[in-house]
Amino acid sequence: MERLGIINLGVGNLSNVQQVSGGTIIDRPSDVSAFDRLILPGVGSFTSAMPALTAYRGALLQAAQNGVPLLGICLGFQLFFEKSAEGIGEGLGLCSGKAVAFPPGLSPHIGWNEVEWVQSIPLIEAIPNHSFFFFVHGFYVVPTGDSIILSTTTHQNRDASISFCSAIVENNLIGVQFHPEKSSSFGIRFLDQFRRWIP
């Protein structure tokens, strides 16, 4: 049976992710290789994740290179990229691009919002287009190229509007800006499909 590991960067509510996904929390980088698929969650700032990310960097890069399915959630998703305007430190560089801040009038983005799928992959076939997921973030990713974008979301208020990349897929990597573990039935379905996903 495949084993799902949840990386503990010390910057997220791991209990929710564990409860919904059924995975095992990984507290030591040396244990990463024992798992067949991985989740990199996170809530907090890019800079606050750097100490733990430094410790896990080698193990995560090796897992990604070996084709292990890897899901990044929120901050964990942003850490897939090269850097963030949120703070110092380098991301994993698994994807080309960076995280940038929402304009002041649109930050932060908190609450339920629609996700528009722009690609079709088996992992999302059971989730209707324009389904609602829960978001809480002040930064969003800007991939260097559009080919990896899996979904977009429009964040707007009375005065402003912006469409941003809310999910990517690239080979064995899938990253989402929303929180599937807080997104009710569609979030549960998403994580369940990730456990079955074959890149």
Those residues whose C-beta lies under 8 Å from the C-beta of residue 115, and which sit 6 or more positions away, are: 129, 130, 131, 132, 133, 151, 152, 153, 166, 167, 178
- Give me the sign of the Cα torsion angle 74, 69, 180, 28: negative
109 is an active site residue:
no
112: part of which helix (H) or strand (E)? strand 109-117
The distance from CA 84 to its chain's CA centroid, rounded to whole angstroms, is 14
74 is an active site residue:
yes
Helix residue ranges, H only, 74-151: 75-78
179 is an active site residue:
yes
Of the residues 2, 74, 95, 125, only one is catalytic, namely 74
What end-to-end distance do the CA atoms of the chain give, in Å?
18
Report the catalytic residues.
74, 179, 181
